[in-house]
Amino acid sequence: MASSLQRIARHSPLAAYRSSLTPIWRQFASEALVEIKPGEIGMVSGIPDEHLRRRVVIFSPARTASQQGSGKVGRWKINFLSTQKWENPLMGWTSTGDPYANVGDSALSFESEEAAKAFAEKHGWEYTKTPSRSISQGGLSWAVSPFPLGPIMNKFFKYSTSGEAFSVQL
Residue 139, domain member (yes or no): no
Decide which of 107 and 163 is more confident: 107
pLDDT at 39 over 60: yes
Q: Which amino acid is at 109?
A: S
Residue 7, domain member (yes or no): no
- Residue 136 C-alpha from the chain's centroid: 22
Residue 170, domain member (yes or no): no
95, exposed or middle or buried, with CB in 10 Å at 0-12, 13-18, 19+? middle
Confidence of residue 33 (pLDDT cuts 50, 70, 90): very low
35: left (phi over 0), alpha (psi -120 to 50) or beta: beta
Which runs of E-coded beta strand occur in the chain? 55-59, 76-80, 85-87, 94-96, 109-110, 126-129
Domain count for the chain: 1
Q: Could you list the residue range(s) of the whole structural domain that residue 113 is in?
A: 40-63+72-129
Residue 122, domain member (yes or no): yes
pLDDT digits (tens, 9 = 90+) for 79-91: 887 777 888 888 8
pLDDT at 26 over 50: no
Asked if 125 and 43 count as a contact pair (C-beta separation under 8 A), the reply is: no
Residue 163, domain member (yes or no): no
Confidence of residue 115 (pLDDT cuts 50, 70, 90): very high
How much is the pTM? 0.52
